[in-house]
Amino acid sequence: MATHVLRLDDASYQEIRGYRLLGFLLFLISDSILFSSFIFSYLYDRAASPTWPPPGVERPDVYLIAVNSIVLFGSGVTMHLAMEGWRHAQRSRFVGFIVATILLGCTFLSGQLYEYMHLHDTWAGSTFGAFFFTLTGMHGFHVLIGVFFLITVLIQALRGTYTTQRYMGLTAATLYWHFVDVIWVALFFLFYVY
């Protein structure tokens, strides 16, 4: 049975891809403003406080989170390798590395949950807790969405939606995943180092 598939010609595809890429980048910029707003507020509160952390608050331990960060950055590497695999039409390499990225992302989230459950500070207990849980919580939520995003593009890739020339969805997923990584660099530095 012959099936008809409507397919855009190259010029049109490039045009639509241009819109979507710019739109997605602008979305990521506005998302970074969301994080920046809370980061600025945290720095303000910290500068305005006579002592930091506030009395009764323990700064969380850096060791577990350092491991968790390596997991997340590792997932950025695997994401990059997956994209390389796709571009070179190495399908099994692509699938393997995407699955690895998803698993590493889930590992990161589990690590975060573990950290939350073993922290002495609470969300409402201090201004440190307020910003720590809100910012890392927002970030974790973004990672969770990212995991769903990756699962979706994996399914789409397996279904044949993308070609080695046309893979806008994969590009968007990669950008999003790297964005989540970059935000984590900032948060890690903010809460665990500075």
Partner 1 sequence: MATQTIAAPVAHIHPPPKGFIARYVISFDHKVIAVQYIITGGLFFVLAGLLAELMRAQLMQAHGHVLGPALYNEAYTVHGSAMVWLVIIPILTGGFGNLVMPLQIGARDVAFPWLNMFSFWLFPPAGILLFASFLMGAPQAGWTEYPPVSLHTPGTVLWCAAIFLIGVSATITGINFLVTVAKMRAPGMTWTRMPLFVWATVTTAFLSAIATANLSAVLAALFIEKVFHVPFYDPANGGSPVLWQHVFWFYSHPAVYIMVLPAFGIVSEILPTFARRPIFGYKAIAYSSVTIGLVSFMVWAHHMFTSGLARWVQLPFMILTMAVGIPTGVKIFSWVATLWRGRLRLTTPMLFTIGFLSQFTFGGITGIMLASVPADVHEHATYFVVAHLHYVLVGGSVFGIFAGLYYWWPKMTGRMLDERLGKWHFWLMFLAFNAAFLPMHWLGLLGMQRRVAYYSQQFGPDQLGWVQGTNWFVSIAAFVLGASMLLFAYNALRSASRGRPAGPNPWGARTLEWMVSSPPPYYNFAEIPIVLSGPYDYGKPLPYANVSQELATVPVA
**Closest distance between partner 1 and the C-beta of residue 164, in Å?**
17
Token pair of 146 as six digits = 């990212």
Min CB(57)–partner 1 separation in Å: 10
Closest CB to partner 1 among 130 and 147?
130
Q: 144: how many CB neighbours lie within 10 A of its CB?
A: 14
Nearest to 173 by CA among 91, 74, 75: 75
Q: What does the binding site for partner 1 look like in residue numbers (CB under 8 A)?
A: 2-9, 11-12, 15-16, 18-19, 22-23, 26-27, 29-31, 33-34, 36-38, 40-41, 44-45, 48-49, 54, 123-124, 126-127, 129-131, 133-134
Select 133 or 167, whichever has its Cβ closest to partner 1: 133
Q: What is the DSSP letter of 194?
A: -
Token pair 């993308």: residue: 162
CB of 144 to partner 1, least distance (A): 17
How far apart, in whole angstroms, are the C-alpha atoms of residue 131 and residue 138? 10
Q: What is residue 49's three-state secondary structure?
A: coil
Shortest Cβ 49–partner 1 spacing (Å)? 8
